[in-house]
């Protein structure tokens, strides 16, 4: 019996003896998991690794866990010049030249942000292969600061402004982005790929864009920090638009500090974006100066309870967060409403009109090689290509194509109402009335199962008040439910980024709710 057992094990013993030991991936050799900008740049300075090695490690990791099936599908394009750029930046470091705080930092960009050396598609088949003539303003700033653009991330097509319902993270060109905590679950959107890539450590940091919830919702579902700044703090030139009034790009990172570093590196006026000129006198080159571990002491915080009651386990996490705020010295004041009038219809009409105008201007910016000349042509081609309307109905594209111009009375009236009741009669009024420093609320629910037939299953959201006002909002993890992260949002007045960062950092440092994903299938 004893010998029979040994014989049966013999093939296994031979297999183990002959098998080569698993070669540790370069990503693990360099200890890049959860690395921060500060630690990454310290590693360059200490000679622990080169920029080229780090870029190679991230590219290998993208190939290993993003593109294999079932993978995350968060990266839609790889920058073929990334390694060459890394070698050039290594040489600059060796010669004693440091461009800025992002020197050698690998970044992934949402694929509605123009890059002169890669296609920018918004996830649409109609823009497949479309390479803009120049970088977006913020991409130029990234390159000037020494950042390396690793590639572009998949997204909800047209930043999720295309159909009456859809599956967040799905695009006709890129397919469905998957959640890194559990592959079958949704990443939320529209900055789905950026949120997933940041969470899965596919880059040091990523950048998303938001009109209403498109940074904070995927940050919530993917357990990262998402920051949509005041509209105008970052230029929007070279970003495929939805709304001139409410669009903004912003950081998606694993820590509040990294969000602060990125925020300052790209803040500032751009002559081609009128709203960005308003940032003068309100912006800082370095937002890390506002990070304070005792930043909640003495703060008056409004607790917006409107989104509560939709998911009892999210409510439990939120009440625990409130207790954590109080333990750190904050006074919490419950508020059940922010605006005094329902402006959802006005906000939707503003999006339709501005999407049409903005998209038409973007197509013009592509020059003679533009694959589409107008939103009317986009609507026509969409109707002709059955595969485009087979998955979702594309009704928003059709409605926007029929909208009037920005001189129409309907548009101007809707814009005036939206801004009045979200700003003076909204966030500003509430904060004045209760003498608040900021407002908190749950960001969203845990990630739902992706469903291409029935679409998204949103349970709650708190992004609309800040989104419609064009005011800043930051979200960061406040816990998890059965291994799925849930975030808390902190928002406030225009240009209150320093205050929001101070509050978020203090909460993050005492709770540390960031959960590293394990890619469960």
| SS3 at position 431 | helix
Residue 22 confidence class, pLDDT cut points 50, 70, 90: low
Q: Which candidate in 214, 248, 450, 462 is catalytic?
A: 214
In this model, does residue 183 exceed pLDDT 50? yes
Q: Is 190 a catalytic residue?
A: yes
pLDDT mean across residues, the chain: 95
- φ, ψ at 225 (rounded to 5°): -90, 130
Classify 29-344+410-511 by CATH class. Answer: alpha beta
In this model, does residue 167 exceed pLDDT 50? yes
Question: Tens digit of pLDDT for each residue in 204-221?
Answer: 999 999 999 999 999 999
Q: Is 316 a catalytic residue?
A: no
Question: Tens digit of pLDDT for each residue in 305-358?
Answer: 999 999 999 999 999 999 999 999 999 999 999 988 999 999 999 999 999 999
Percent of the chain whose predicted confidence (pLDDT) is above 70: 95
- For residue 8, the model assigns a pLDDT of 40
**Token code pair at residue 195:** 């949120």
Question: Tens digit of pLDDT for each residue in 99-110?
Answer: 999 999 999 999
- For residue 387, the model assigns a pLDDT of 65
In this model, does residue 33 exceed pLDDT 60? yes
Residue 116 confidence class, pLDDT cut points 50, 70, 90: very high
In this model, does residue 222 exceed pLDDT 60? yes
Q: Which candidate in 74, 110, 140, 163 is catalytic?
A: 110
Q: From CA 370, how far away is CA 379, in angstroms rounded?
A: 16
Pick from 427, 246, 231: nearest CA to 349: 246
Greatest alpha-carbon pair distance for the chain in Å reads 92
**Token code pair at residue 220:** 């919530």
Q: Output the CA torsion sign for 76, 258, 139, 487.
A: positive
**Rg of the chain taking only CA atoms, in angstroms:** 23
Q: Which candidate in 190, 199, 279, 461 is catalytic?
A: 190
Pick from 226, 194, 254, 207: nearest CA to 34: 254
- For residue 15, the model assigns a pLDDT of 41
In this model, does residue 6 exceed pLDDT 50? no
- For residue 69, the model assigns a pLDDT of 76
Neighbours of 495 (CB within 10 A): 18
Residue 389 confidence class, pLDDT cut points 50, 70, 90: low
- φ, ψ at 402 (rounded to 5°): -95, -5
Q: Is 214 a catalytic residue?
A: yes
Q: From CA 313, how far away is CA 481, in angstroms rounded?
A: 7
Better-scored residue on pLDDT, 22 or 464: 464
Beta-strand pair 300-304/438-442: parallel
In this model, does residue 242 exceed pLDDT 50? yes
Q: How many H helices and E strands in the chain?
A: 18, 13
For range 174-188, the mean pLDDT: 98
In this model, does residue 415 exceed pLDDT 60? yes
For range 15-42, the mean pLDDT: 83
- Whether residue 59 contacts residue 78, with contact meaning beta carbons closer than 8 Å, is answered with yes
- Whether residue 132 contacts residue 229, with contact meaning beta carbons closer than 8 Å, is answered with no
Torsion (CA) 388, 185, 463, 258 in degrees, nearest 10: -110
């Amino acid at each position: 019996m004893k010998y029979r057992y040994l014989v049966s094990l013999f093939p296994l013993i031979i297999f183990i003896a002959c098998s080569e030991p698993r070669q540790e991936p370069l990503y693990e050799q360099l200890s890049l998991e959860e690395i921060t900008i500060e630690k990454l740049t310290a590693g360059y300075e200490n000679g622990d690794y080169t920029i080229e090695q780090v870029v190679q490690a991230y590219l290998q990791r993208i190939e290993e866990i993003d593109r294999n099936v079932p993978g995350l599908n968060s990266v839609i394009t790889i920058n073929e010049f990334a390694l060459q750029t890394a070698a050039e930046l290594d040489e600059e470091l060796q010669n004693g030249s440091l461009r800025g705080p992002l020197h050698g930092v690998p970044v992934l960009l949402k694929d509605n942000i123009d890059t002169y050396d890669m296609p920018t598609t918004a996830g649409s088949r109609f823009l497949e292969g479309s390479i803009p003539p120049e970088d977006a303003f913020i991409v130029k700033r990234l390159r000037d600061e020494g950042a390396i653009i690793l590639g572009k991330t998949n997204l909800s097509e047209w930043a999720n402004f295309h159909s009456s319902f859809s599956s967040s993270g799905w695009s006709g060109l890129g397919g469905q982005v998957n959640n890194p905590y559990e592959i079958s679950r949704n990443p939320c959107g529209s900055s789905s790929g950026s949120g997933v890539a940041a969470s899965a450590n596919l880059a040091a940091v990523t950048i998303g864009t938001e009109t209403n919830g498109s940074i904070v919702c995927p940050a919530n579902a993917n357990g990262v920090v998402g920051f949509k700044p005041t509209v105008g703090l970052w230029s929007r030139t070279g970003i495929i638009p939805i709304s001139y009034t409410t669009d903004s790009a912003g950081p998606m990172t694993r820590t509040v500090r990294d969000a602060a570093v990125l925020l300052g590196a790209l803040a500032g006026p751009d002559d081609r974006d009128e709203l960005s000129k308003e940032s003068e006198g309100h912006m800082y080159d370095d937002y890390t100066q506002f990070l304070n571990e005792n930043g909640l002491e003495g703060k008056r915080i409004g607790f917006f309870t409107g989104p509560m009651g939709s998911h009892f386990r999210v409510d439990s996490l939120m009440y625990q967060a409130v207790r954590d705020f109080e333990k750190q010295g904050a006074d919490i004041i419950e508020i059940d409403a922010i605006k005094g009038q329902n402006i959802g219809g006005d906000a939707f009409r503003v999006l339709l009109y501005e999407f049409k105008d903005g998209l038409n201007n973007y197509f013009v910016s592509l020059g003679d090689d533009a694959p589409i000349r107008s939103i009317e042509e986009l609507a026509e081609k969409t109707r002709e290509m059955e595969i485009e309307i087979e998955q979702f109905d594309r009704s928003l594209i059709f409605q926007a194509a029929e909208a009037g111009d920005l001189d129409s009375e309907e548009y101007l009236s809707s814009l005036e109402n939206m801004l009045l009741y979200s700003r003076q009669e909204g966030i500003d009024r509430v904060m004045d009335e209760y003498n608040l420093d900021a407002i908190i609320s749950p960001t969203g629910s845990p990630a739902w199962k992706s469903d291409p037939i029935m679409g998204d299953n949103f349970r709650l959201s708190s992004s609309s008040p800040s989104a419609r006002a064009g005011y800043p909002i930051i979200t960061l993890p406040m816990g998890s439910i059965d291994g799925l992260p849930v975030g808390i949002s902190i928002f406030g007045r225009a240009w209150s980024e320093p205050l929001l960062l101070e509050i978020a950092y203090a909460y993050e440092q005492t709770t540390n709710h960031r959960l590293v994903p394990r890619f469960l299938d």
